[in-house]
Amino acid sequence: MKNQTKKIYGSIVLTLFIFLLAGCANSMEEESEAENSEKDVTTVSETDNKEDHKNNDLEKTPSSNTPNKGKTGESKDASSEDNAEKDTLSNYSTEEIEYARIWLQLGAIKDVEELNIRHISAGTPLNPDDETSASYPEDVIQLSGSRLVAGSVTYSSNGDGTINVYNIPLRWDGSYPTGEDFYKNLIENTELVRVDRGEDTKISALINKMNTL
């Protein structure tokens, strides 16, 4: 009887041991599957991140087929204009171009038969016919047409694209002496003018009509 009881207990213990082993095996399998699942998720996530980086890089990279307008076109246009000016005015001096631009901007009659250029030194009286006349404080240039009606422009250059224009007539009319204050007022009230670029073809045509006195 005791032997049978021992056998029964032995069978029960063996059965329990087998169940424990089976449970441990299942637990290890589940843990292994969970770890593999996490690895799969991580791999997918890393793959997605790599794809996102690639897409972002593609979006940031400018397409070689996209036309580049704006600055490139503008720089080409500016370069073309500069080259055209150099070609048209390359045979003329800076002074000749300046005279023509000033006359085309300020002259009373633009299309003159002849454009006279006269250099007047500092210290020269504004009106040589009046003993009370003040003198030019600087060297000036006087431009005039072949006829009085064409007018005149008397100025000094500042070397920065601007000039000081003196309100001096080509021919003085009136009674003298006028008084030094009258002439000083003309000197003190010069007009600062910025010279326009002008049209190259008109500049070239006018230069060919210049005559230095």
Query: pLDDT (tens digit, 9 = 90+) per residue, 143-168?
Result: 999 999 999 999 999 999 999 999 99
- Number of alpha carbons in the 13 Å side-chain half-sphere of residue 104: 21
- Position 47 in a domain: no
Residue 168 domain boundaries = 94-212
Q: Which residue has the higher pLDDT, 47 or 148?
A: 148
pLDDT at 135: 97
- Position 46 in a domain: no
- Position 4 in a domain: no
User: 158-194 burial, b if ≥16 CB within 10 A, otherwise e?
Assistant: eeeeebbbbebebeeeeeeeeeeebbeebbeebeebe
What average pLDDT does range 67-84 have in this prediction? 55
Query: What backbone torsions phi and psi does residue 18 show, to the nearest 5 degrees?
Result: -65, -45
- Position 45 in a domain: no
Q: How many domains does the chain have?
A: 1
The pTM for the full model equals: 0.60
- Position 44 in a domain: no
